[in-house]
Amino acid sequence: MSKKKRRTFTPEQKAEAVKIVRTSGKTVAQVAREMGLTETALRNWVRQDEINQNPSPQGPLTTDERAELNRLRKDLKRVEMERDFLKKAAAFFARET
């Protein structure tokens, strides 16, 4: 079985699809079929747009918050690797003296 190549969409394409769902009066399923999208993907885009439009402190993360979380996780991983390296280097030089 060969896997389908995963398609990527720009934020503008996603916003346009969400706008069509909101303004046309059509269901998510209808718009997804017309645009050649999966219903699940379009439904997720609509849900995320709703979260972005009405952020809640205790609710799900907005797109910007999610991007910041990913950046902070990468930074933390890098800093932890640097710390581990410095611990090993300190132990190595401590043995040498």
Mean pLDDT, range 68-95, rounded to an integer? 96
Mean pLDDT of the chain: 92
pLDDT digits (tens, 9 = 90+) for 42-77: 999 999 999 999 888 888 999 999 999 999 999 999
Rounded to whole angstroms, the Cα distance separating 18 from 7 reads 17
Q: Taking the model in full, what pTM does it have?
A: 0.68
Query: Could you tell me how many residues make up the chain?
Result: 97
Pick the CATH number of 8-60 from 1.10.10.10, 3.10.20.30, 3.40.50.2300, 2.60.120.10: 1.10.10.10
Torsion, CA 76, CA 78, CA 84, CA 85, rounded to 10: -160
| Every domain of the chain and the residues it spans | 8-60, 61-97
Confidence of residue 1 (pLDDT cuts 50, 70, 90): low
- The torsion region of residue 12 among left (phi > 0), alpha (psi -120 to 50) and beta comes to alpha
Q: What percent of the chain has pLDDT over 70?
A: 98
